[in-house]
Amino acid sequence: MPTPLKAPSLKLALLPLALLLLLLAINVALFGDSAIEGPNQIALILAGVMAAVIGLKHGASWTTLQEGMLKVVFIALMPILMLLLIGAMASTWMVSGIVPTLIVMGLKLADPTWFYAAAALVCAIVSTAVGSSWTTAATIGVAMMATGEGLGMSLPVTAGAVISGAYFGDKLSPLSDTTNLASGVCGVDLFHHVRYLFLTTVPSFLIALALFIGLGLTHTADGRIAQSAEMINAINTSVHTSAWLLLVPLLVVIAIIRKMPALPLMLFATLLGSLCSLLFQSELVYQIGGSDDWSGLCRGLAATIVAETSIVTGNTFSDDLLSTSGMAGMLNTIWLILCAVVFGGLMEASGCLSSLLTGLNRLVRGPTSLVATTSGTCGVLNLTASEQYLTLLIAGRMYPELYKKYGLTPRNLSRTLEDSGTVTSVLVPWNTCGAYHATVLGVGTLTYLPFCFFNLISPLMTVLVMRFDWKVEHIARENQPPHPGPLPVGVGEQAL
């Protein structure tokens, strides 16, 4: 008979996590931002090996461990497919002129009289369109920083406004990898997750905008956003922008309202983007394909979907903004996700996760303290793991059963991950997000931190919403036990 699995002690269960955090810290020190291109994956594999060894020592069979890995890989399959289609959709929307049209419209909204609020709003619009805070900060954000300096505005406040807007879109955009990751790891439909995020994200951003308006009213600088005008001219010269292209996002919004499933929707949006590329940007497609015949057209469309493409405008900021990497650009993230979920599966199958959850369960006294504990866990992981993807993956695998125990749907967990894990990564100097934005914007992390109002408010908002039970989704009462018993731990048991 096989030896029955005995849960390891809390101290022993912490060893794989401690090893992971140590290796990740070493990777950040040695490799910097490139740690995501392999070293972090190796760290996850080594930590998973330690969890497997602990499991084997406590009675788990290799078959049990292998089944644990396969179950969580199955859970990650849908987010992986979504990421591939998002890469394709983002690229086709860029080449077709849909995103450039949205960018031009967003830039025209900028008004020097309300510069800080305008910077946050423009970055929010662009980030929602492209689904990336990093791309937004490196392009529109840099333009806003240069403009702010020319107007005599405060650079730390401008950086805070740029980051607040960029992370608004990073949370809400269906194109965002973190949005897909948070929903996927919790087993929540992508668009249900986005709609539920509105309840905390929009109030947090409105408060942040009010604070930026207040700061802007104290500044009397006048001027004109010449950098933005230069970018608009460069984009319009190189890409055909048209209000007709906005019909595509409108159709996608209608499909979302009609609850079209996420995977077919992304494929539908990609096909629409390719069609618009043919109708509005045929010369650009021929250029990408390398010839002006039908074979060049086919090669251009294929390259747009799967490979790195760029639109040359002659403006450095615009060139960076209009560069995409298609499906291929998602492979590093997919590789990281696979290694992370394997680590999580081994932690679960070995009994280590059960011991950790039992320890965490002692800290929780109700739904509000559960959300606060989840939020705190995300903050600690951003401080230690130095990578927001790992924060979402690890915290997302730790808490599903506790949310179920307290009668909360998985959407509450996925929202808390975004409200606390995604937005606070940029506030840590040694986190990849914090280091990146500090370098790109030219302002130290701790210098801009006090003015990242949206990022600071979001974790507090998610706790307040739970505290006052404002539109919180609960599991149907008839499906709950009258008195929650001891915390059960099962592999991949995540309610949809």
Distance CA 461, CA 195 (A): 16
Instruction: Specify the pLDDT at position 46.
Output: 93
Instruction: Specify the pLDDT at position 333.
Output: 74
Place of tokens 């897909």: 180
Domain membership of residue 252 (yes or no) is yes
The residues, any chain, with a CB within 8 Å of residue 463's CB and separated by 6 or more, are: 368, 371, 372, 375
Q: At 359, is the pLDDT very low, low, confident or very high (cuts 50, 70, 90)?
A: confident
**Which of 120, 136, 110 minimizes the C-alpha distance to 215?**
120
- Rounded mean pLDDT, 418-431: 88
pLDDT over threshold 50, residue 494: no
Residue-wise pLDDT tens digits, 74-118: 767 777 887 788 788 888 888 888 878 877 776 666 556 788 998
Which pair of tokens denotes residue 102?
Answer: 């949205």
Print the domain residue range for 215. 80-329
Burial 130-158 (b: 16+ CB within 10 A, else e): bbbbbbbbbbbbbbbbbbbeebebbbbbb
Helix and strand totals (H; E) in the chain: 26, 2
Domain membership of residue 437 (yes or no) is no
Instruction: Specify the pLDDT at position 491.
Output: 34
Domain membership of residue 86 (yes or no) is yes
Which pair of tokens denotes residue 290?
Answer: 């390398």
Q: At 415, is the pLDDT very low, low, confident or very high (cuts 50, 70, 90)?
A: very high
Q: At 484, is the pLDDT very low, low, confident or very high (cuts 50, 70, 90)?
A: very low
Which pair of tokens denotes residue 154?
Answer: 């405060």
* Structural domains of the chain, count: 1
- Rounded mean pLDDT, 387-408: 85
Domain membership of residue 160 (yes or no) is yes
Domain membership of residue 35 (yes or no) is no
Instruction: Specify the pLDDT at position 258.
Output: 76
CA angle 340, 343, 347 (to 5 degrees): 140
Residue-wise pLDDT tens digits, 111-132: 567 889 989 998 998 888 777 7
pLDDT over threshold 50, residue 487: no
CA angle 225, 228, 229 (to 5 degrees): 85
Which of 330-339, 380-389, 430-439, 440-449 has the least mean pLDDT?
A: 380-389
pLDDT over threshold 80, residue 358: no
Average pLDDT, the chain: 81
Which pair of tokens denotes residue 289?
Answer: 């394909």
**Which of 146, 303, 177, 314 minimizes the C-alpha distance to 235?**
314
68, amino acid identity: G
Instruction: Specify the pLDDT at position 496.
Output: 26
Instruction: Specify the pLDDT at position 296.
Output: 87
Domain membership of residue 394 (yes or no) is no
The residues, any chain, with a CB within 8 Å of residue 418's CB and separated by 6 or more, are: 171, 178, 179, 182, 197, 201
Instruction: Specify the pLDDT at position 29.
Output: 83
Domain membership of residue 90 (yes or no) is yes
Distance CA 377, CA 277 (A): 44
First to last CA, the chain: 36
pLDDT over threshold 70, residue 169: yes
Instruction: Specify the pLDDT at position 328.
Output: 86
Instruction: Specify the pLDDT at position 488.
Output: 39
DSSP letter (8 states) at residue 480 = S
Q: At 235, is the pLDDT very low, low, confident or very high (cuts 50, 70, 90)?
A: confident
Q: At 232, is the pLDDT very low, low, confident or very high (cuts 50, 70, 90)?
A: confident
On the 0-12 / 13-18 / 19+ scale of CB atoms within 10 A, 434 is: buried
pLDDT over threshold 50, residue 371: yes
**Which of 107, 174, 105 minimizes the C-alpha distance to 140?**
107
Q: C-alpha 271: how far from its chain's center? A: 24
Q: Which residue has the higher pLDDT, 335 or 457?
A: 457
Distance CA 29, CA 21 (A): 12
- Rounded mean pLDDT, 288-292: 84
38: left (phi over 0), alpha (psi -120 to 50) or beta: left
Instruction: Specify the pLDDT at position 226.
Output: 56
Domain membership of residue 265 (yes or no) is yes
Percent of the chain residues past pLDDT 70, beyond the cut? 86
Q: Which residue has the higher pLDDT, 343 or 207?
A: 207
Instruction: Specify the pLDDT at position 417.
Output: 94
Secondary structure class of 310 (helix, strand, coil): strand
Residue-wise pLDDT tens digits, 177-214: 889 888 988 888 888 899 999 999 999 999 999 999 99
Instruction: Specify the pLDDT at position 101.
Output: 84
Q: Which residue has the higher pLDDT, 468 or 484?
A: 468
pLDDT over threshold 60, residue 266: yes
**Which of 238, 307, 301 minimizes the C-alpha distance to 272?**
301
Tell me the CA distances in angstroms from 259 to 141, 256, 264, 408, 444, one per residue in order: 33, 5, 11, 23, 43
Residue-wise pLDDT tens digits, 18-67: 898 888 888 878 887 677 778 888 988 998 899 999 999 988 889 889 88
